[in-house]
């Protein structure tokens, strides 16, 4: 999408909400921590693209856990009813924190739900980069050619803990993790390349990682006062009070 990785990842360093880039110009929506929330946004954007008679297509990524949020069902139904150009990409990594997929996806498959919304649904091996690329391209082309929405369910596994406060040792075994470790998408993809291609890719990746790390560490935090600037277009009385209290506490 042409977005600078450092600008994008600034969110993850808590430097800035939503990244230091222009979501409108790049058409890459900011990172959103509301599970399932961006799915309705994508459908709204697709509705706009259709009304404006452009050939724009929205693609939205979400988890298996997100797929059981009410918003996601409404979004998919709306996309089906209006035959909207949108691709619903569900990364099914087996877990919503400690809850396994089988305890929240009744029927066993997110892709299978698509039939009920009158849209396409496909499962792919989420650890096979070529399969994921092909499925994505096919769904984008379909949407762009007036074929409507697709649900892609990419089957994979969350290798580590959900977050630093999570301990997967409490709900799964090292043996289960080992099975999936052997199917790691990076090593699978590596085996599909020649030795020379792999060396070039690894060299390129190492350079990108170095640049991104250096770029992120060089970022300066914005003035703390900005905490209050962008919560509402017009500050509320309560917010102004909080800002004043913060200033008083600083001076104390």
Ligand X SMILES: Cc1ncc(C[n+]2csc(CCOP(=O)(O)OP(=O)(O)O)c2C)c(N)n1
Interface ranges with ligand X (CB under 6 A) = 33-35, 63-66, 93, 95-97, 158, 162
Helix pair angle (70-81, 37-51), 10° resolution: 20
- Residue of 113, 142, 157, 158 with catalytic role: 158
- Residue of 123, 144, 162, 172 with catalytic role: 162
171 in active site: yes
Question: Cα separation of 252 and 250, whole Å?
Answer: 6
The partner in contact with residue 1, picked from Mg ion, ligand X, none with C-beta cut-offs of 5 to 8 angstroms by kind, is none
* Nearest-approach distance from CB 60 to Mg ion, in angstroms: 15
**8 Å CB contact between 217 and 15:** no
The partner in contact with residue 113, picked from ligand X, Mg ion, none with C-beta cut-offs of 5 to 8 angstroms by kind, is none
* Nearest-approach distance from CB 95 to Mg ion, in angstroms: 5
* Nearest-approach distance from CB 234 to ligand X, in angstroms: 26
* Nearest-approach distance from CB 31 to ligand X, in angstroms: 12
Interface contacts to Mg ion, rule CB under 5 A: 63-65, 93, 95-96
Residue whose beta carbon is closest to Mg ion? 63
204 in active site: no
**8 Å CB contact between 23 and 29:** yes
Two structure tokens written together for 58:
């929205």
Q: Please, which residue, 59 or 198, has the CB nearer to ligand X?
A: 59
Q: Please, which residue, 57 or 92, has the CB nearer to Mg ion?
A: 92
Q: Please, which residue, 78 or 95, has the CB nearer to ligand X?
A: 95
Q: Dihedrals φ, ψ of 167, to 5°?
A: -125, 95
Q: Dihedrals φ, ψ of 107, to 5°?
A: 95, -15
Q: Please, which residue, 64 or 153, has the CB nearer to Mg ion?
A: 64
| Sign for the pseudo-dihedral over CA of 217, 223, 224, 230 | negative
The partner in contact with residue 144, picked from Mg ion, ligand X, none with C-beta cut-offs of 5 to 8 angstroms by kind, is none
The partner in contact with residue 162, picked from ligand X, Mg ion, none with C-beta cut-offs of 5 to 8 angstroms by kind, is ligand X
Residue whose beta carbon is closest to ligand X? 63
CB burial readout 204-218, b (16+ within 10 A) else e: eeeeeeeeeeeebee
* Nearest-approach distance from CB 34 to ligand X, in angstroms: 5
- Residue of 171, 204, 210, 213 with catalytic role: 171
Q: Please, which residue, 40 or 68, has the CB nearer to Mg ion?
A: 68
The bridge status of strand 150-155 relative to strand 120-125 is parallel
Question: Cα separation of 128 and 92, whole Å?
Answer: 14
CB burial readout 135-158, b (16+ within 10 A) else e: bbebbbebbeeeebbbbbbbbbbb
12 in active site: no
**8 Å CB contact between 151 and 122:** yes
As a whole number of Å, the end-to-end CA separation of the chain is: 47
Residues carrying an active site annotation? 158, 162, 171
């Amino acid at each position: 999408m042409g977005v600078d990785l450092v600008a994008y990842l600034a969110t993850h360093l808590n430097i800035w909400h939503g990244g230091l880039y222009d979501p409108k110009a790049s058409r890459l929506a900011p990172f959103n921590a509301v599970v399932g929330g961006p799915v309705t946004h994508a459908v709204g954007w697709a509705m706009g693209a259709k009304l404006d008679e452009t050939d724009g297509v929205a693609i939205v990524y979400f988890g298996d856990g997100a797929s059981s949020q009410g918003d996601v069902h409404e979004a998919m139904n709306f996309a089906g009813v209006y035959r909207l150009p949108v691709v619903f990409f569900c990364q099914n990594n087996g877990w919503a924190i400690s809850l396994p997929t089988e305890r929240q996806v009744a029927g066993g498959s997110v892709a299978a739900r698509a039939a009920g919304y009158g849209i396409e649904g496909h499962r792919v091996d989420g650890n096979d980069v070529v399969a994921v690329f092909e499925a994505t391209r096919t769904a984008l082309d379909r949407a762009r050619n007036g074929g409507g929405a697709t649900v892609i369910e990419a089957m994979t596994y969350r290798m580590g803990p959900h977050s630093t406060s999570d301990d997967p040792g409490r709900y799964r075994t090292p043996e289960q993790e080992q099975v999936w470790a052997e199917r790691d998408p990076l090593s699978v993809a590596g085996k599909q390349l020649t030795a020379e291609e792999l060396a070039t890719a690894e060299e390129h990746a190492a350079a990108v990682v170095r640049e991104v790390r250096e770029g992120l560490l060089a970022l300066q935090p914005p003035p703390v006062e900005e905490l209050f600037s962008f919560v509402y277009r017009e500050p509320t009385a309560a917010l102004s009070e909080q800002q004043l209290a913060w200033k008083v506490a600083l001076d104390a």
